[in-house]
């Protein structure tokens, strides 16, 4: 169910990327947090994931603004505002509660460190000297 939202966001982001750069994105002025607090539907425990998603979009907009992508920042804020404008629809659209998928997404977000090369592994051994 989230795929249409992601596809829409990606399409909007690509459209914004083609537009000329504008002034800085106004994340604070978007009042995402205030909008979350104002919506009773979003205060229910069952909708905690929707609230996290909205905050993730806001945080992503901050990152885009920091790296000088004001158009893309505005697109993300627009998506977050549209989701906030109709929380009932947002809650119905979202909500993938597959715990295995959620765990795999959390695992995918963790940075992966390269495994140290063990000297006992065959790839790490020096090639044997050839007899003359």
pLDDT at 65: 94
CB under 8 A, 24+ apart: contacts of 50-56: 50/83, 50/87, 50/90, 50/91, 50/94, 50/95, 53/83, 53/94, 54/80, 54/83, 54/84
Residue 112 has pLDDT above 90, yes or no: no
Q: What is the pLDDT of residues 17-74, one digit of tens each?
A: 554 444 578 999 889 999 999 988 888 888 888 899 899 999 999 999 999 999 999 9
The answer to whether the pTM exceeds 0.75 is no
Predicted local confidence at residue 21, as pLDDT = 46
The answer to whether 9 and 76 are in contact (CB under 8 A) is yes
Please give the pLDDT value at position 103: 77
Higher pLDDT, 54 or 7: 54
Radius of gyration of the chain (CA): 22
Over the chain, what is the mean pLDDT? Answer: 76
């Amino acid at each position: 169910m989230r795929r249409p939202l992601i596809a829409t966001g990606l399409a909007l982001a690509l459209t914004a990327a083609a537009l000329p750069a504008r002034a800085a994105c106004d994340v604070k002025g978007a009042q995402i947090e205030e909008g979350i607090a104002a919506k009773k539907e979003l205060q229910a425990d069952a909708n905690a994931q929707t609230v996290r998603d909205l905050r993730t979009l806001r945080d992503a907009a901050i990152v885009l603004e920091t790296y000088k992508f004001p158009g893309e920042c505005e697109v993300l804020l627009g998506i977050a505002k549209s989701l906030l404008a109709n929380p009932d629809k947002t809650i119905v659209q979202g909500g993938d509660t597959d715990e295995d998928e959620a765990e795999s997404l959390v695992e995918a977000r963790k940075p992966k460190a390269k495994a140290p090369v063990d000297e006992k592994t065959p790839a790490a051994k020096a090639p044997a000297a050839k007899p003359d």
